[in-house]
């Protein structure tokens, strides 16, 4: 399966009282092809979000936040910083206060790096964060482009149903099922049913992590791990 990942503008926000963190990350920005911005306090971060809210909500950028929890703790409950939870966050700290760090980890961090860190360490972490976000966004966009019937067909395909079974469940002809199936495979760039299962699993993961706005796409049934394993076993038996 060949997947062309979206080429998005990259932005890194460093929230840390220690300006050395910003200076270090700024030294690797060219290799990451990213812009780097800096805030040193909770108040500065709040102002930054107000100024950049339109850009963040548009989802037209790949954004990664690097922060020290001593500057700000990002809570999913009623926080003005909740928008940041939709993007990868890397926690950097040398604090001996483990409770603060653990609370940050529970909000779903991309990674945790202890200070002092090497430039190569932070560069690799940022590159991976950008790639995974861009990959997830690419898959989300592919599923957004599916029609309601293609979504329904997709749900039944990943469950292991045959074309005949799908036609009976959706009350359409087998020929129409084949058309929907071909369209969803083309739109998702899936070459095999195994590819489609993997893409669907990634999309499911994005939805659970809040990376997908379900209001902007047709309803897609989310499979649990047990169902996915059953589907994979069934597809192997049919291969």
User: Residue 76: its pLDDT value, please?
Assistant: 55
Alpha helices in the chain (DSSP H): 19-27, 29-32, 42-57, 98-106, 119-144, 148-158, 163-170, 174-188, 193-208, 225-238
User: Residue 151: its pLDDT value, please?
Assistant: 87
d(CA 130, CA 6): 11
Instruction: Answer yes or no: is pLDDT of 168 > 50.
Output: yes
Q: Cβ distance 93 to 114 under 8 Å? A: yes
Please compute Rg for the chain using Cα positions. Answer: 21
**What's the mean pLDDT in 32-55?**
94
User: Residue 75: its pLDDT value, please?
Assistant: 61
Average pLDDT across the chain, whole number:
80
58 Cβ neighbours under 8 A, 6+ residues apart: none
Instruction: Answer yes or no: is pLDDT of 65 > 60.
Output: yes
Q: Which domains does the chain have, with CATH numbers?
A: 9-136 (3.40.50.2300), 145-238 (1.10.10.10)
pLDDT band at 227 (very low <50, low <70, confident <90, very high): very low
Instruction: Answer yes or no: is pLDDT of 220 > 50.
Output: no
d(CA 67, CA 111): 11
User: Residue 125: its pLDDT value, please?
Assistant: 96
Higher pLDDT, 205 or 175: 175
Instruction: Answer yes or no: is pLDDT of 138 > 60.
Output: yes
d(CA 40, CA 44): 7
Closest C-alpha to 65, from 84, 46, 51: 84
Q: Cβ distance 28 to 50 under 8 Å? A: no
User: Residue 137: its pLDDT value, please?
Assistant: 84
Q: What's the pLDDT tens digit per position in 85-111? A: 889 999 998 865 566 666 666 567 889
Q: What's the pLDDT tens digit per position in 18-28? A: 999 999 999 99
Instruction: Answer yes or no: is pLDDT of 45 > 90.
Output: yes
Number of residues that this document lists for the chain: 239
User: Residue 235: its pLDDT value, please?
Assistant: 45
Instruction: Answer yes or no: is pLDDT of 215 > 90.
Output: no
pLDDT band at 51 (very low <50, low <70, confident <90, very high): very high
pLDDT band at 124 (very low <50, low <70, confident <90, very high): very high
Closest C-alpha to 49, from 15, 26, 78: 15
């Amino acid at each position: 399966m060949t997947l062309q990942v979206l080429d998005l503008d990259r932005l890194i926000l460093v929230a840390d009282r220690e300006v050395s963190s910003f200076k270090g990350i700024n030294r690797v920005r060219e290799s990451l092809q990213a812009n780097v911005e800096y805030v040193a306090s909770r108040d500065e971060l709040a102002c930054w979000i107000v100024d950049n809210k339109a850009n963040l909500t548009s989802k037209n950028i790949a954004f990664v936040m690097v922060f020290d929890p001593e500057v700000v703790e990002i809570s999913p409950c009623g926080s003005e910083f909740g928008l940041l939870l939709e993007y990868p966050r890397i926690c950097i700290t040398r604090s001996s206060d483990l409770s603060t760090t653990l609370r940050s980890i529970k909000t779903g961090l991309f990674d945790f790096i202890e200070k002092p860190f090497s430039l190569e360490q932070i560069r690799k972490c940022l590159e991976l964060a950008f790639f995974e976000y861009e990959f997830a966004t690419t898959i989300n966009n592919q599923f957004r482009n599916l029609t309601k019937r293609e979504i329904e067909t997709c749900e039944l395909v990943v469950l292991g149903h045959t074309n005949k079974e799908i036609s009976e469940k959706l009350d359409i002809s087998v020929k129409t099922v084949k058309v929907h199936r071909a369209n969803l495979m083309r739109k998702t760039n899936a070459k095999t049913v195994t590819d489609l299962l993997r893409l669907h699993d990634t999309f499911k993961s994005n939805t659970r992590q809040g990376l997908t706005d379900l209001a902007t796409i047709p309803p897609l049934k989310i499979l649990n791990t047990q169902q996915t394993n059953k589907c994979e076993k069934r597809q192997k038996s049919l291969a």
